[in-house]
Amino acid sequence: MLQEPFSKGFELSNVTNFSNCSLNNNLLYLIALKCIPQVGDIVARRLIDTTGEASSVFTMTEEKIAQIPGLTPKTIRMIKENRNAALKRAETEIEFIEKHKIQCLSSYDDDYPSRLKHCLDAPLFLFYRGSAPVESAFMTAVVGTRKSTVYGRKMTEQLVSGLNLKGMTIVSGLAYGIDTTAHQTAVDCGIPTIGVMGHGFRHLYPEENRKLATQMLKNGGLLTEFLSDELPEKQNFPIRNRIIAGMADAVVVVEAQSKGGALITAEIAGSYSREIFTFPGRVDDQKSRGCNWLIRTQRATLIESADHLKYFMNWTQAENKEYRQVRMEVLLDAGAQSVYDFLFEKGEKSIDCICNDLGISINSAAMILLDLEFQGVVAALPGKRYRLKNH
């Protein structure tokens, strides 16, 4: 494993649109807070909420620290013993990010990714370097196995290239396999892409993706929650997966074994109420066992193309700005007409809502909706929700 310094191979000349946050004392104390052992993102927010600001943790007496609710004796001891060392490390970090024009996004700032901000365990701050906004209208995470097959890479290329619509950003983890293919395809198609790293900016892993990472800085960027000197250690990668899931509207698992980071990302995405999609594979293919399991357990919706994803996410209208709502003239019986009129008036609704409002049984509603779907009138969405097509 090679970990050459971040500065050895990344050119800054083509990286623009930086609006680096003001490197004031507040940022210093935010970074220092995370440098204290036993203080993670949730504990750090509890400390800030209790004391009013991060700096208070470093100026208050030891007696007052012990009075903060929710802290274990070990955490209290770590705060007492490590405050000075944490401040020194934070000062070093600020010098590094200033030198390399790295943007710091605090979860208390407006420029922090809004989708991620609402997640309970979102990072207290993020370090970002790139030329594209860290957030856009449509955010799709594409993940999968590091040991991808020809089939997996082909599906990834077709998926990403097919998502070439205005306002789309592809998010992945810059790892071998599916991640690499997703990022490279986005670069080749001119689609902004953001790589979420499991280490700090003094390193790049895998080393083979150094050229790709440099290309990404020109139309996308690199993002991490880790301080610059933190290594690409094994335990970091599952941690960073929550950022990939939290930043996205939809998470697509292209190819995954029965265990691995892709399934972890899908599980986290589900806990964040994100939409999860996956490509099916052969039943005897080890690389697709995870995808087939997601489908079988109804954790993910089966897709076969980018068009399927855009359809389920209702992104097709973004490709046609002249779209106008037009009531379809279709021949329907009385029951189907009532469901059609209901969806026309109310918009997207769950099958339970349809049954309750129209006073029909779940079996009757399911049969009507299935028939309307076969006629191309109704679109079935994840979570047993339905809407009219082209409406």
Nearest residue to 131 via CA among 169, 175, 95: 169
What pLDDT tens digit does each residue of the chain (391 aa) get? 333 335 444 443 333 333 344 445 688 999 999 999 999 899 999 899 888 889 999 988 888 888 888 888 999 999 999 999 999 999 999 999 999 999 999 998 889 999 999 898 999 999 999 999 999 999 999 999 999 999 999 999 999 999 999 999 999 999 999 999 999 999 999 999 999 999 999 999 999 999 999 999 999 999 999 999 999 999 999 999 999 999 999 999 999 999 899 999 999 999 999 999 999 999 999 999 999 999 999 999 999 999 999 999 989 765 544 333 334 444 578 888 889 989 888 888 999 899 988 999 888 898 899 888 877 788 888 778 888 876 5
Nearest residue to 230 via CA among 191, 275, 252, 199: 199
Q: How much is the pLDDT for 202?
A: 96
Q: How much is the pLDDT for 381?
A: 84
Q: How much is the pLDDT for 25?
A: 63
Residue 383 backbone dihedrals phi, psi, to 5 degrees = 80, 20
Q: pTM higher than 0.75, yes or no? A: yes
- Tokens linked to 37: 């052992």
Q: How much is the pLDDT for 345?
A: 84
Owner of token pair 């590091």: 146
- Measured CA to CA in angstroms, residue 374 lies from 154, 240, 280, 379 at distances of 29, 41, 22, 9
Q: How much is the pLDDT for 2?
A: 33
Residue 104 backbone dihedrals phi, psi, to 5 degrees = -110, 125
Report the interhelical angle of 25-34 vs 73-99 (nearest 10°). 130
Q: How much is the pLDDT for 14?
A: 37
Q: Where are the alpha helices (DSSP H) in the chain?
A: 25-34, 41-51, 56-59, 62-66, 73-99, 114-117, 150-162, 178-189, 210-218, 236-247, 261-271, 289-296, 306-312, 334-346, 351-358, 362-374
Owner of token pair 């010098």: 95
Q: How much is the pLDDT for 347?
A: 85
Q: Going by C-beta distance under 8 Å and a sequence separation of 6 or more, which residues neighbour residue 75?
A: 38, 39, 43
Question: What amino acid occupies position 2?
Answer: L
Separation between Cα atoms, residue 251 and residue 247, nearest integer Å: 10
Residue 245 burial by CB count (10 A; 0-12/13-18/19+): exposed, middle or buried? buried
- Tokens linked to 36: 């204290």
Separation between Cα atoms, residue 355 and residue 268, nearest integer Å: 31
Cβ(361)–Cβ(377) below 8 Å = no
